[in-house]
Structure 1
Amino acid sequence: MRIYNFSKELGKNIQAFNSNNLFMTRILKDSDHTYVGCMHIEENGEVGLHQATIPQLLLIVNGEGWVKGNERIEYRIQTGYAVFWEAEEWHETRTDKGLTAIIIESKSMNLDMKEEEWNSIQED
């Protein structure tokens, strides 16, 4: 057995795309263009608007915030929910209270979760 640390303190402060209060800790990178990391977005933080280079899956493990995709509509997201963006899709994430999420980027993803209707969690 091995034990690893992916805490915010080991993360890199990311400011690309006008992001702020964002720390990314790498978890896994393989030769088949698959990347896994932990995003720590502090209070009043955001991942600025940018285009996904490959499909991305964002899994909220703690906290809450808002996400946008190509449709530019802001949706509320919270612990236990995931967001999937296609390659080349414009997207952003922000939070008032802070959130922690696992981000998976891979050319090939076969999602096996229950898909939610957006209007069930869309902010009024």
Structure 2
Amino acid sequence: MKIYEFTKESGKTITRFNSSGVTIHPLLKPDSPCQIGYFYLEAKSVLGMHPAMCDQVLMITSGNGWGWGKASCKSRNGCVLERR
């Protein structure tokens, strides 16, 4: 069994694609272009629009905000956004 620590302080800050207020903890990165990670998004943070290497799913566990791609939608706690 492997135990993962994903406190905000131990994560990696993301600034690419004009992102701000975003911290990631990569959890799994198999031998494919996909990965699984846990994000901390601070209030008024921006995860910049970026090219997707594979389908993407964003699961909101706390708070709310906006998601966008071909269309935009308001997201909230308990919501799942999928980008293909």
TM-based fold match above 0.5: yes
- TM-score, length-scaled by structure 1: 0.62
Which amino acid letter does the alignment assign opposite residue 43 of structure 2? E
The offset of 1:51, in angstroms, is 2.1
The match for 2:77 is 79
The offset of 1:2, in angstroms, is 4.8
* 4+ aligned runs moved over 4 Å, structure 1: none
The offset of 1:33, in angstroms, is 3.4
Counterpart mapping for 1:64-75 below 5 A: 64-71=64-71, 74-75=72-73
What SS does the corresponding residue of 1:44 show, helix, strand or coil? strand
Q: Percent sequence identity over matched residues?
A: 32
Q: How large is the RMSD of aligned CA atoms in angstroms?
A: 1.4
Deviations 1:63-121 (A, max 9, x none): 111111113xx3110111111111xxxxxxxxxxxxxxxxxxxxxxxxxxxxxxxxxxx
Which amino acid letter does the alignment assign opposite residue 63 of structure 1? G
The offset of 1:12, in angstroms, is 0.7
Structure 1: gaps of 5 or more residues:
87-124
The match for 1:15 is 15
Which amino acid letter does the alignment assign opposite residue 46 of structure 1? V
The match for 2:33 is 33
Greater CA radius of gyration, 1 or 2? 1
The match for 2:44 is 44
Q: Separation in 2 of the partners of 1:29 and 1:53?
A: 13
User: Greater RCO between the two (CA within 8 Å, min separation 6)?
Assistant: 1
Kindly tell me the number of residue pairs found equivalent between the two proteins.
Answer: 84
Q: Separation in 2 of the partners of 1:17 and 1:69?
A: 14
The offset of 1:25, in angstroms, is 0.8
- TM-score, length-scaled by structure 2: 0.88
